[in-house]
Amino acid sequence: MGIFSTALPAAERAKTQAPDLHGLSFYEEHPKGQIELEEFERLAVNRLFVLKGIEELRASNASEDQLRKRTEELLKKHLGITMARPAGSAASAVAEAVAEARRTDLISHYILRVVYCRTEDLRRWLLEQETALFRRRFARLDAIAKASFLAVHGMPYETVDRGSFDRLREDLRAVADKVAVVSASPVGEGGVKKVRLTAEQEAIERGAHGDFYKVPFTVVPELVRSRSALVRGGWAYVHVSSVSGVVAQHFRAQLSRALAVMGSKWVLSARAREADRLAPIVEGLSQRYLGVQYDSREARAGGGVRAKDVAALAQRAFPLCMASAYQHAHREHHLKHNGRLQLSLFLKGAGMPLEECVAFFRAEFAAKAPGDKFDKTYAYNLRHSYGKEGKRADYKPWNCLKIISMVPGHGECHGCPYRTHDEASLRAALGRLNVNATKIEEAVQKAKDGHYQIACGKHFEGVHGVDVGGIRHPNEFFDQAWALDHPDEADDPPANAAAPSTPAAAVPPQAIAAGGAVTPQT
């Protein structure tokens, strides 16, 4: 039995043959045919760009309008999906574009199901982001498309007929008036204010009965609990603006069940079967860093970062994970292996030459590892991390995803403090870096909510007064801080930053079956 089911019940097959609604669906149709591993990885990364972009914007408390606009931009840029019919396009061209966008949407969604079905944390993340994406895409549909979508997917929601609407109109108005957020703006002379009605209030005034849906009250518990919907005889009467959230919850429930089933399939059979080919790609994609790749920087203007600079730089240019590692090394004259590797690779990416890096650690560890003891215990590993020993690999500085995934043990100081520290420890650590008190509280709250990279951005803002959103790489934090403190060098691109490359297939491109059993093409 494959990861992707092959057989569809007749009712579901009928749904897949319905008119396309901007490609939007519950993804009940499973991918069919074959896809090259190279395209498999590319589509996964492109969809990750969309989902991670939405995640960052949601965590930054963006308005619903900002979320809508950004979602449309991300979909068009990375997946070629538009949320409106192209104006002036020929019917054949539109049909072709819609078909390709629908294929991309379907396959990329299912690829991420495979990638994120493997653990509870991964499933939870995908549920949150895919539900947020679905909700905004559904909300963008017009009333006719929404009604068609509900009918196609057999959901128990029907528009309110004229007679029922007329009987309930005053009750609907009372509920709408109670929950409405009324805004006012001055118009005309004398500052006369005109009240703006909500979309629900406007629909009631216009008598637009087709904008209201009759749904079982059990499917809208939040609306019932907050008294935001009229309930009569076991039915809730809901404005179309509220239906998006209801349908999104239905989507979430279906996706949750599907991920649980797929996760079991992956553990029981597919992982072993794909151990040499698909599994490495799948397991790597969930940790994929999508930003700038940081390699070694030989020198900045003025000769690069030197050992004697670290103490001052740690206060203003190091993210908390690196500042904490430096402080631990300075205080304890020792760092365990992962802590040394995390800090040394960061310094390498910041532009510290190998000789300066060795000098820095030699000075910090001198109290416990003087002279020859340091050379025997630490020097080889430092040279190795710079690609000067062993297989001479060019090890890259760790990105945020890798650091967040690593949980330190007793006596270790690697990992992400926003994930590992309690609130009191986090406040104290940020306070030692002279972060603005307001931004400390914002960072603590973001960390509490699980938005560790946004919390890091609050640290940056609390020191430099610039809102950078989320931080995706410790060396991104460093480079932006350096640019602000060295404006004469700000126009020069970072010497160590390579543009994100197009992901290459982890194995030679071979066809895999996107539907049915995931097996090599023969």
Q: Tell me the pLDDT tens digit for each residue of 92-103.
A: 776 787 788 889
Q: Is pLDDT above 60 for 4?
A: no
pTM value surpassing 0.75: no
Binned at pLDDT 50, 70 and 90, residue 91 comes out as: low
Q: Are residues 353 and 437 in the same domain?
A: yes
Contacts of 195 (CB under 8 A, 6+ apart): 182, 184
Q: Are residues 238 and 345 in the same domain?
A: no
Q: In what order do the strands lie in the sheet with 235-239?
A: 158-159, 212-216, 235-239, 230-232
When comparing pLDDT for 37 and 357, which is higher? 357
515 located within any domain: no
* 95 and 233 inside one domain: no
Q: Record the tokens describing residue 259, joined without a space.
A: 């991920």
Res 508: pLDDT: 28
Mean pLDDT value across residues 203-231: 87
Range of the domain at 172: 158-244
What confidence score (pLDDT) does residue 223 get? 87
- Residue 508: inside a domain: no
Do residue 224 and residue 278 come from a single domain? no
Q: How many CB atoms lie within 10 A of CB 91?
A: 7
Instruction: Say if 4 falls within a structural domain.
Output: no
pLDDT bracket for residue 2 (50, 70, 90): very low
pLDDT band at 313 (very low <50, low <70, confident <90, very high): very high
Tell me, yes or no, whether 91 and 117 share the same domain.
yes
pLDDT for position 184: 40
Domain stop point among 214, 244, 274: 244
Model confidence over 335-374: pLDDT tens digits? Answer: 999 999 999 999 999 999 999 999 999 999 999 999 899 9
Confidence of residue 104 (pLDDT cuts 50, 70, 90): very high
- State what percent of residues in the chain have pLDDT above 70: 80
Residue 493 has pLDDT above 80, yes or no: no
Structural domain contains residue 505: no
Residues 303 and 207 in one domain: no
Residue 193: pLDDT over 60: no
Instruction: Looking at the structure, tell me whether residues 176 and 54 fall in a common domain.
Output: no
Q: Are residues 199 and 144 in the same domain?
A: no
Mean pLDDT across the stretch 457-479?
Answer: 92
DSSP letter for 234, please.
T
Q: Where are the beta strands (DSSP E) in 82-191?
A: 158-159, 183-187
Considering the domain boundaries, does residue 510 fall inside one?
A: no
If asked whether residues 377 and 482 sit together in one domain, one would say: yes
Give CA–CA dist 514/411, Å, rounded. Answer: 46
What is the C-alpha separation between 17 and 25, in angstroms, rounded?
12
Question: In this structure, is residue 475 part of a structural domain?
Answer: yes
Inside any domain, residue 506: no
114-128, 196-210, 290-304: range with lowest mean pLDDT: 290-304
pLDDT at 30: 86
Q: Is residue 341 part of a domain?
A: yes
What does the pLDDT look like over 20-35, one tens digit per residue? 555 788 998 888 888 8
Indicate if 410 and 465 belong to the same structural domain: yes
Using the 3D structure, point to which of 288, 319, 342 is the last residue of a domain: 288
For residues 370-380, average pLDDT: 91
> Residue 45's domain is classified under what CATH number?
1.20.930.80
Same domain, 345 and 268: no
| pLDDT confidence of residue 226 | 85
pLDDT at position 255 over 50: yes
My answer on whether 342 and 474 are in the same domain is: yes
Mean of pLDDT over the chain: 81
Measured CA to CA, the distance from residue 192 to residue 207 in angstroms comes to 27
Percentage of the chain with pLDDT > 90? 41
How many domains are contained in the chain? Answer: 3
